[in-house]
Amino acid sequence: MVYRLDQIDERIIYRLVEDARRVSAPDIADELDVSSGTINNRINQLEAEGIIRGYHAAIDYERGDDLLTNLFICTTTVTDRGKYAKQVLQIPGVVNVREVMAGRGDLRVKGVGADTDDITRIAKAIANLGIEIEEEDFVHREHFHPYHPFGPDTKGDERAMTDFMSLAGNAEVIDLSVSPGVPITERTLAEANESGLLDNEVRVIAIEREDTVITPTGDTIIEPDDLITVFSQDGVSGDILRVFTGEASDSEG
């Protein structure tokens, strides 16, 4: 059964994602004009419901000890994906495993190693489990932001870019919220490619629509407010952002 979040729950989640270490129950209570006890009770309830599953530090391993971080994009099967995710997480050096509702590349594995030999060891361990590695790249930097609809109602501060990962070379993976009225809405992905909105280096690899995760195909139609995951071999340019959000990146103005 789905647990329905109200404004208090949403603001708690927003602030904890923003900085769980420094935010306090009184801070959140002041924003919402409720008691600290109410906030503490809600946090306990969100934890009991499994919505808040833990508090994790965001670590830059390269900066801390000159370690290498690698992203492995792997393919499993729907029936075995959960089993493989648990097995991969036991490999020394693997720090994160993400299950994605996609046909190919449905398991994303982040591994940390002392050198390229260590990264190769992780790759071999993954392959030895019978998992196919589709692609792999060194992660340069990751950027995160809390989910904006859960945050304060600040006009003009809405962002279409929700999550971003920079890979070795120019490749990037990004989560975007599709804005109403942009060129790609109400088109299939095949039509978007044929019309030149998307090129062969850009792939939509997952779509989250309301409570459903969709595995994209050529016939999939992009709708406003879809949360999509995009992989671009040549990096996420302002043109790509405009196709989905109508906005360019901050660096492009």
pLDDT tens digits, one per residue of 148-174: 788 876 444 444 444 445 455 567 777
Mean pLDDT score, 115-120: 94
Give yes or no on whether 7-48 and 145-252 have one common fold.
Answer: no
What confidence tier does 183 reach under pLDDT thresholds 50, 70, 90?
Answer: confident
What confidence tier does 102 reach under pLDDT thresholds 50, 70, 90?
Answer: low
Structure tokens given for 101? 């509702």
Q: What percent of the chain has pLDDT over 90?
A: 38
Lowest mean pLDDT among 4-13, 59-68, 239-248: 239-248
Q: Give the span between the Cα atoms of 17 and 106, in whole angstroms.
A: 25
Above 50 in pLDDT, residue 121? yes
pLDDT of the residue at 32? 92
Q: Are strands 227-232 and 172-177 parallel, antiparallel or unpaired?
A: antiparallel
Model confidence pLDDT, tens digit, residues 189-220:
889 888 888 877 788 888 888 778 888 888 98
Instruction: Tell me which of 145 and 28 has the higher pLDDT.
Output: 28
Q: Give the span between the Cα atoms of 165 and 130, in whole angstroms.
A: 26
Mean pLDDT score, 66-90: 92
Q: What percent of the chain has pLDDT over 70?
A: 87
Q: What does the longest C-alpha to C-alpha distance in the chain come to? A: 56
Check if the beta carbon of residue 114 is closer than 8 Å to that of residue 67.
yes
Domain segments of the chain: what residues? Answer: 7-48, 61-139, 145-252
The 3-state secondary structure of the chain reads CCCCCCHHHHHHHHHHHHHCCCCCHHHHHHHHCCCHHHHHHHHHHHHHCCCCCCCCCCCCHHHHHCCEEEEEEEECCCCCHHHHHHHHCCCCCEEEEEECCCCCCCEEEEEEECCHHHHHHHHHHHHHCCCEEEEEEEEEEEEECCCHHHCCCCCCCCCCEEEEEEECCCCEEEEEECCCCCCCCCCEHHHHHHCCCCCCCEEEEEEEECCEEECCCCCCECCCCCEEEEEECCCCCHHHHHHHHCCCCHHHC
| CA angle 128–133–138, rounded 5-degree value | 115
Mean pLDDT score, 72-80: 91
What confidence tier does 252 reach under pLDDT thresholds 50, 70, 90?
Answer: very low
Q: What's domain 61-139's architecture?
A: 2-Layer Sandwich (3.30)
pLDDT of the residue at 157? 42
Whose structure tokens read 């904890």? 16
The pTM for the full model equals 0.55
Q: Give the span between the Cα atoms of 130 and 100, in whole angstroms.
A: 18
> Does the 7-48 domain belong in CATH 1.10.10?
yes
Which CATH superfamily groups domain 145-252?
Answer: Regulator of K+ conductance, C-terminal domain (3.30.70.1450)
